Amino acid sequence: MRASYGVNVPYDLPEGVFLGGEQYKVLGGGPTPTLLFKPQEWRGEGTRCSGPPGKGPPFANYSCPTAAEMAARLNGYKPGTVTQIYGTSDGGLHLDNFDRLVPLLAEHVTVVNHNELARMALAAHEEAKRAGARGAQLDR
């Protein structure tokens, strides 16, 4: 399996590739599928990365939450959701932002490395396919 992490450059422009709450897509099939994760860039906190309210880059506020706001976003996902954060320092993000974030995460949120993330996403995708197949059989 391979994994790619989408990043909207130069700013977090709305993308139409991911539907609803979709956090990733599985591209291709066979023994080596590719996962493409939805952009969720964290550029820094608050106005440090987007400038004064209304003066920052277009759409930048979504990419500039405080640690508490990012924790609320992640905590709000349905248990079992597989997602990622792409951290970038060009807006002022530092590792201490993650140090503040992690203690604020709910019990159902787990921080993993990129390999585990891809494995979890592929397993969730396979389970959803099996559940869909079972649902289709039950509808007949």
- pLDDT reported for residue 12: 59
So what's the pLDDT on residue 139? Answer: 41
The SS3 call for residue 139 is: helix
Residue 58's pLDDT is 63
Rounded distance, CA 59 to CA 113, Å? 28
Please indicate, yes or no, whether the overall pTM of this predicted structure exceeds 0.95.
Answer: no
Residue 104 and residue 68 in contact, taking contact as beta carbons nearer than 8 Å: yes
Q: pLDDT 10s per residue in the chain (140 long)? A: 888 887 776 665 666 678 878 899 998 878 888 999 988 888 888 666 656 655 666 666 778 888 999 999 999 999 999 999 988 877 788 899 999 999 999 999 999 999 999 999 999 999 988 988 655 444 43
Backbone φ/ψ region at 69: left (φ over 0), alpha (ψ -120 to 50), beta: alpha
pLDDT at 92: 80
